């Protein structure tokens, strides 16, 4: 069973950033109280900029960063210091500004082969589940506390694109793509079974280019067949869409 869907619309991108900081800080507090840690899965793209309020007071002071665990929803297969790396994006815009212990940050290990990077990341997650650092969901997949997802204009989420088979993966935790329509072509990505085993999922969209995809995912515009990947995201506890005026412009 999946949790409820919330749609939160804001006047501006700035208001989304404030609401997202509040929401993330509150979840961090809740999970650290309940289970002693908070696992957060980051995407790339504009999300990292939208998270900017979280690393500023009052939120930055309220969060117990020492208990955070950071993972990547998807990653470009490039060295970690490459300007295209999602890890580098997160490090520069977010992680370098808060005291998360280095050992709690789980970037990919870079190899030339995307397949090898995916296998290595999956093995790493399996070890963390084995050590009970990340719990195993009743679904048989790891259970992360919070996913922070962006959405692309074509309705992709993570590196799960329409017209690519990775979106249908049912067994693997992490898979790879070598012909991503969004550059660069080689990437790794969490699969749908992992995303939809997560407790809370935030869909953060602040651009008019994604307004159609948002309206399709929320049932306002007719769904294509097969539907868009972003329409298939559902967290176990809840899925919350954070939308600015532009992203919500096709909703009514
Ligand atoms: O490789 C990437 O860029 C991201 O990891 C990707 O999955 C992102 O979340 C979406 O493409 C949305 O990106 P925007 O928010 O920039 O539209």
| Residue 51 Cβ < 6 Å to ligand 1 | no
Confidence of residue 75 (pLDDT cuts 50, 70, 90): very high
Average pLDDT over residues 150-160: 98
Which backbone phi and psi does 211 adopt, to 5 degrees?
A: -60, -40
Please give the share of the chain, as a percent, with pLDDT higher than 90.
Answer: 99
Distance (Å) from CA 25 to ligand 1 centroid: 22
Q: Which residue puts its alpha carbon closest to atom 13 of ligand 1?
A: 45
Q: Which residue puts its alpha carbon closest to atom 14 of ligand 1?
A: 45
Question: Domain coordinates of the chain in residue numbers?
Answer: 4-243
**Residue 168, Cα to own-chain centre: how many angstroms?**
18
Distance (Å) from CA 63 to ligand 1 centroid: 25
| Residue 45 Cβ < 6 Å to ligand 1 | yes
Report the 3 state secondary structure along 114-178. HHHHHHHHHHHHHHHHHCCCCCECCCCCECCCEEEECCCCCCCECCECCCCHHHHCCCCCEEEEC
Specify the pLDDT at position 123.
98
Confidence of residue 2 (pLDDT cuts 50, 70, 90): confident
Answering whether pTM is above 0.95, one says: yes
ipTM of the complex: 0.95
Distance (Å) from CA 47 to ligand 1 centroid: 8
Q: Which residue puts its alpha carbon closest to atom 2 of ligand 1?
A: 44
Q: Which fold has domain 4-243?
A: Rossmann fold (3.40.50)
What is the overall mean pLDDT for the chain?
A: 98
Average pLDDT over residues 198-208: 98
Reported as a single tens digit per residue, the pLDDT across 10-32 is 999 999 999 999 999 999 999 99
Atom nearest to 209 CA in ligand 1: 17
| Residue 158 Cβ < 6 Å to ligand 1 | yes
């Amino acid at each position: 069973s999946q949790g409820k869907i919330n749609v939160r619309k804001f006047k501006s991108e700035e208001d989304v950033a404030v609401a997202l900081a509040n929401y993330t800080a509150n979840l961090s507090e809740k999970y650290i109280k309940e289970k002693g840690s908070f696992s957060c899965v980051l995407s790339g793209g504009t999300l990292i900029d939208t998270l900017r309020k979280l690393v500023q007071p009052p939120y930055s002071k309220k969060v117990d960063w020492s208990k955070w665990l950071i993972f990547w929803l998807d990653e470009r297969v490039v060295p970690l210091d490459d300007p295209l790396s999602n890890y580098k994006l997160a490090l520069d815009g977010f992680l370098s500004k808060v005291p998360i212990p280095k050992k709690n940050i789980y970037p990919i290990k870079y190899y030339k082969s995307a397949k090898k990077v995916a296998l290595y990341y999956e093995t790493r997650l399996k070890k963390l589940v084995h050590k009970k650092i990340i719990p195993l969901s009743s679904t048989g997949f790891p259970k992360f506390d919070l996913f922070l997802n962006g959405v692309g204009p074509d309705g992709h989420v993570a590196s799960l694109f329409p017209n690519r088979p990775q979106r249908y993966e049912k067994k693997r935790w992490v898979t790879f793509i070598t012909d991503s329509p969004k550059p660069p072509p080689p990437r790794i990505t969490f699969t749908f079974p992992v995303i939809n085993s997560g407790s809370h999922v935030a869909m953060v969209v602040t651009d008019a280019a994604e307004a159609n995809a948002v309206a399709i995912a929320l049932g306002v515009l007719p769904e294509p067949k097969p539907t868009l990947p972003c329409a298939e995201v559902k967290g176990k506890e809840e899925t919350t869409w954070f939308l600015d005026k532009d992203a919500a412009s096709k909703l009514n």
